[in-house]
Amino acid sequence: DGGITQSPKYLFRKEGQNVTLSCEQNLNHDAMYWYRQDPGQGLRLIYYSQIVNDFQKGDIAEGYSVSREKKESFPLTVTSAQKNPTAFYLCASKETGGFGIQYFGAGTRLSVL
């Protein structure tokens, strides 16, 4: 079954703590993306990676970090520098070739304790 798996589904962060959200895909896509979703705000791009060992900042990268050591995996770390981390986080990957359609995971909801 091909798809994008995000884990965990729910995550709680304490003050001053870094947390890591997992995103794995078995679609053999080169490009992967992280978005943040707040109510009424639509999707805002945090980071994206077009190829292994390379990634670029999106529109709201401050307080976040990523790595892309494997094609299948693109974890997002929400650092303590992100003062308002409560949101729904979505990972996506983009088909290689063709029209470059993006497909999404089921999301991780992060809340602050």
Partner 1 sequence: GQQLNQSPQSMFIQEGEDVSMNCTSSSIFNTWLWYKQDPGEGPVLLIALYKAGELTSNGRLTAQFGITRKDSFLNISASIPSDVGIYFCAGQEGANSKLTFGKGITLSVRP
Asked if 102 is part of the footprint of partner 1 (rule: CB under 8 A), the reply reads yes
Terminal C-alpha separation, the chain: 35
Asked if 99 is part of the footprint of partner 1 (rule: CB under 8 A), the reply reads yes
> Half-sphere exposure of 97 toward its Cβ, with a 13 Å CA cutoff?
2
Best CA proximity match to 82, nearest among 12, 22, 18, 9 = 18
The footprint of partner 1 on residues 7-46 (CB under 8 A) is 33, 40-45
Count of residues binding partner 1 (CB under 8 A)?
A: 28
Stretch in the footprint of partner 1 (CB under 8 A) among 12-20, 62-70, 74-82, 104-112: 104-112
Map tokens 């962060």 to a residue.
13
The footprint of partner 1 on residues 39-98 (CB under 8 A) is 40-45, 48, 50, 58-59, 88, 90, 92, 97-98
Using DSSP's 3-state secondary structure scheme, residue 62 falls into coil
Minimum Å gap between C-beta 74 and partner 1 is: 15
- Rounded Cα gap, residues 28 and 37, in angstroms: 25
Asked if 6 is part of the footprint of partner 1 (rule: CB under 8 A), the reply reads yes
What single letter denotes the amino acid at residue 60? I
Contact 75, 93 (CB under 8 A): no
Question: Can you give the binding site for partner 1, defined by CB under 8 A?
Answer: 4, 6, 33, 40-45, 48, 50, 58-59, 88, 90, 92, 97-107, 109
